[in-house]
Amino acid sequence: MIHKSRSALAILIILTALHPLYGQGFVLQKDILVPSGDVEDNVISFGGDIVVDGNVRESVIAFGGTITINGEVGEVVLGFGSEIKLASSAVIEGDVVSVGGTLTKQTGCSITGDTILINIDSSHNLSRIFSPGGIRSFLPLLLILKFITLLVWLLLAITLVAFFPRQIRLASEQIRTSFWPVFGTGLLGLIIFIGLSVFSAFLSLIIIGIPILVSLVFIGIIIKIFGRVVLFCFLGDALTRAFGKKDPTLFLSAGVGFILIGLIGFIPFLGPLVSFILNIVGWGVVIRTKFGSTPDWNTKRRNEAQEK
pLDDT tens digits, one per residue of 75-103? 889 888 889 999 999 999 988 888 888 89
Least confident of 54-63, 225-234, 265-274: 265-274
Q: How many domains does the chain have?
A: 2
For residue 52, is pLDDT > 60?
Answer: yes
**pLDDT-derived band at 129, boundaries 50, 70, 90:** very low
Structural domain containing residue 110: 2-123
Q: For residue 74, is it within any domain?
A: yes
pLDDT of residue 296: 62
Q: For residue 151, is it within any domain?
A: no
For residue 187, is pLDDT > 80?
Answer: yes
93 and 196 within one domain: no
Report the candidate in 158, 155, 172 with the shortest Cα–Cα distance to residue 251: 158
Q: For residue 155, is it within any domain?
A: no
Q: How many other β-carbons are positioned within 10 Å of the β-carbon of residue 194?
A: 12
Q: How far is it, in rounded angstroms, from Cα 168 to Cα 172?
A: 6
111 and 26 within one domain: yes
| CB distance 168 to 230 below 8 Å | yes
| CB distance 153 to 258 below 8 Å | yes
Distances (CA, A) of 288 to 14, 154, 281: 20, 25, 11
